[in-house]
Amino acid sequence: MKVPSSSVQLLVLFVLASSALTAPQGCSHKIKEQIEPPKGWVKVAPAPADHIINLRIALPQPEFASLEKALYEVSDPDHARYGQHLSKEEVEELVAPHPESLNAVDDWLASHGISQGDLSRSPAKDWVKVRVPVSLAEEMLNTTYYVWRHIESGDAVVRTTSYGLPEHVHPHVDLVQPTTLFSTFQGMKTTYRWSANRQQSVDSGVASIRSASGTVVDSSCNSTITITCLKELYNATGYNSSATNGNTIGITGYLEQYANYMDLQDFYAQQRPDAVNSTFNLITINGGQNNQTLSAAGVEADLDVEFAYGLTYPTNRTFFSTGGSPPYIPDMNTPTDTNEPYTQWLDYILASPNPPQTISTSYGDDEQTVPESYALRACADFAQLGARGVSLMFSSGDGGVGDGDPDPTTQTCYTNDGRNVTRFIPGFPASCPYVTAVGGTTYVPEVAVSFSGGGFSNYFGRPRYQTEAVTKYLASLAPGTYEGLYNPFGRGIPDVSTQADYFQIWSQGRSGHVGGTSASSPTFTGFVSLLNDALISAGRPPLGFLNPFLYGRGVAGLTDITSGNNPGCGTEGFNASSHHLHDINYVNTDAVTGLGTPNFGLLKDIVLS
């Protein structure tokens, strides 16, 4: 966009002032959003006036309640509409803004010299995007942008802690970003261990062990997790998926994490020989790359694709490489500074006519680092995908009940709102009620892994599918347990779990063990994809949004994990629950492993019944 000169801007303002579109009070700005300077970020200097910002403006979705209603109906096995997922066009109709909002925002932008040709819009027109220099953004939002630097990482962004809009525009805009978003979006992972053996003695004389669900598992699975281990543990041995029925599994990649073809072939040769010489479909978004230099291989990306694709081969496979991440370098004249990269992925996937039926994401951040308005809107976008029949899995986090630091002894656990009080720190997007949050277990029989992210959202209320299970779980806690440290009315995390430690992968040409809920999310996603394979092959629709099914009929196909905890914030965290195990009508959940781990054989029978 060519920025208008000051004389042109004055002319535009004069014309508008002379028209009936404005009134003296209507032109005044009113604060739309204001935050405390976030922890760990320091103000460096005013942002350069010519620095380009990619503004994203969210318009209200007045019919979202109707979309949410449809989402729950098509996702509830006991509802007559179950499986009747909405089309892309039907979803877009339900999230489209009112014409009044479109006109009000267009007029506001025009008053700053921004024409229709300068804009891009989402298919539903509920997002408007425009590139503007800092000087114009500051005028539009009545704010001042600064360069902020993250003390720990050194990353820098151009942000503000407060912005406003003309009063008459307020009802027509939900949020504008980048403004107050200081999130440090990152992969969910603990340390990478390139060790040969697990730090626990294993009786080599025992050939097999029995899992809590009754399956027989090779004893080596207590020191190294492989594709074979997972299929044995979760009762999927012998199931063969289709390469041609239209089922697709998707993995998202961010922050220059590249899935390496050579590493994948080495992994297949070791753990899935029949998949050797097969590969995946690559989709690059927002300048995403595909660097195949071996040294550029990302452990996160390699882990995700090796286990998700290894479990589901020969199902059609897609890897999304999404570009766009700080740091911004303050001494450059016209640097590039982007939004959170997963908004770029959301733009792409919502516009896609045929997204994968099952998608895993092993990235996220502490919920409190994401402005609530932004989290609510991103979550609403996830709901659109669920209504269209897409199952979305997110890692629950690696900090137990604490922040993203996997070491519970160094977590801060202070609120980010200026009060600096101690609170448990849930993760986002796992806290969104329209996605499935995946926690972690370890060993056979399984126990909760100590870093499994869990707790309760401070942004999202308890969804109705959790009402009974979470209410009973909280009632089982000793009176006063962690009172004031968590929101007892919030959405509970995680929903389910799988193994999350000592996964044997190949990365940068060598084999080693890795751990984190970055392992459990693609694992659970793999088994969901196999369930979708069975459904699609039987001429049935895919599962779509999973949670109403999991907390209902599906719980009979999950194995409750009854021991372990997730320490953090100077506490032992929550315990895995073992209450009411003999009550078949009781849906058992906890804030460490959720409803438990999958039994694919039972789940397949349930979904096909």
- Ranges of the chain whose pLDDT falls below 70: 1-27, 189-206, 325-340, 404-409, 578-586
In angstroms, the Cα distances linking 358 to 209, 324, 434, 527, 532 are 31, 24, 14, 10, 8
pLDDT of residue 5: 44
pLDDT digits (tens, 9 = 90+) for 511-567: 999 999 999 999 999 999 999 999 999 999 999 999 999 999 999 999 999 999 999
Q: Give the model's pLDDT for residue 189.
A: 62
List the chain domain ranges. Answer: 6-61+96-182, 192-608
Phi-psi region of 337 (alpha: psi -120 to 50; beta: other; left: phi over 0): beta
**Maximum Cα–Cα distance for the chain, whole Å?**
90
To the query of whether residue 518 is one of the catalytic residues in this protein, the response is yes
**Catalytic choice (304, 367, 381, 560):** 304
- Catalytic residue (choose from 76, 263, 300, 365): 300
pLDDT at site 577: 81
User: Residues 194-242: pLDDT tens digits?
Assistant: 544 444 434 445 688 998 888 899 999 999 999 999 999 999 999 999 9
Nearest to 384 by CA among 57, 101, 120, 95: 95
pTM comes to: 0.92
Query: Which is catalytic among the residues 518, 521, 529, 577?
Result: 518
Q: What percent of the chain has pLDDT over 70?
A: 88
Is the separation of the CB atoms in 258 and 324 below 8 Å? no
Q: If we measure between CA atoms, which residue out of 189, 77, 171, 127 comes closest to residue 507?
A: 189
DSSP secondary structure, 350-392, as one string: HH-SS--SEEEE-EEEEGGGS-HHHHHHHHHHHHHHHHTT-EE
CATH topology of domain 192-608: Rossmann fold (3.40.50)
Rounded distance between C-alpha atoms, residue 606 and residue 609, angstroms? 5
Residue from 569, 187, 565 nearest 403 by CA: 569
Scan for tokens 């927002």, then name that residue.
Answer: 286
Closest alpha carbon to 593 in 570, 567, 572, 564 = 564
Look-up of token digits 């479109």: 102
**The amino acid at 355:** P
pLDDT on residue 339: 53
Q: Which of 386, 501, 387 is nearest to 436 (CA)?
A: 386
Which residues, other chains included, contact 57 with Cβ-Cβ below 8 Å and sequence gap of 6+? 105, 127, 128, 129, 130, 173, 175, 176
The single-letter code of the amino acid at 593 is T
Q: What is the pLDDT of residue 59?
A: 98
